[in-house]
Amino acid sequence: MQTLFVNCCPRVEASRTLRLAEVFLAALREKLPGFNLHQQNPHGMGLAPVWGETLTQREALCDARDWTHPLTRPAAEMAQSDLLVIAAPYWDLSFPSALKVWMEHMWIRNLTFFYRDDQPVGLCRAEAAVYTTTAGSRIGAHDWGTLYVEDCLRTLGVRSFHAIKAEALDLDSSDPEAILAEAEGRARLLANGLSARWLQTP
């Protein structure tokens, strides 16, 4: 089970979002014997927003199917992963911009998707993606961040998408530890459910 953990939590040790993701990953590690984790950190891996010249260079790499170049390698790893776990706090109604830049780098023609009848068709092998986020207030119905991540990953071929959210952590009336503990319970349940499903799959 090759897992890619996309850690987009700028507050690092202080991050509640990272804590939630780590609870999920620890529960999964406990249940799955062949669990193998690799991490990408969108803030630290030198990804630049895609620019005109980058696009030209990238199109040439896509035509040549060169998946070892720094512009395509992160997506090659994503495309080969069985599970994606993405952690990003709720910032400015979505998530930190580094995650958008990371996502730009995942759209690699002939590697993560191709076009058929003018529609993108996903090529990624992941069975599931899990997105953890925490928010200072209530996110409400327009959760642009989660929906964007889900739509991108499903288009790129990821079969199922699960979000674990802990909301209202910064409100005066809130008990953040209680909210986090409840979300961690959901994270463990999801890890148990997914691992049971995968252990049954021959």
Ligand X SMILES: Cc1cc2nc3c(=O)[nH]c(=O)nc-3n(C[C@H](O)[C@H](O)[C@H](O)COP(=O)(O)O)c2cc1C
For ligand X, the binding residues (CB under 6 A) are 9, 11, 15-18, 89-93, 134-137, 169-170
Tokens of 83: 């599970």
Secondary structure (3-state) at 175: coil
| Nearest CB to ligand X, comparing residues 24 and 90 | 90
Under DSSP, the state recorded for 90 is -
User: At its nearest, how many Å lie between ligand X and the CB of residue 139?
Assistant: 7
| Nearest CB to ligand X, comparing residues 92 and 118 | 92
User: At its nearest, how many Å lie between ligand X and the CB of residue 54?
Assistant: 26
| Nearest CB to ligand X, comparing residues 67 and 95 | 95
Q: How far is CA 59 from CA 56, 80, 114, 116, in A?
A: 5, 20, 13, 17
User: At its nearest, how many Å lie between ligand X and the CB of residue 26?
Assistant: 17
Angle at 162 between CA 106 and CA 82, to 5 degrees: 55
| Nearest CB to ligand X, comparing residues 40 and 134 | 134
User: At its nearest, how many Å lie between ligand X and the CB of residue 102?
Assistant: 16
Tokens of 84: 């994606």
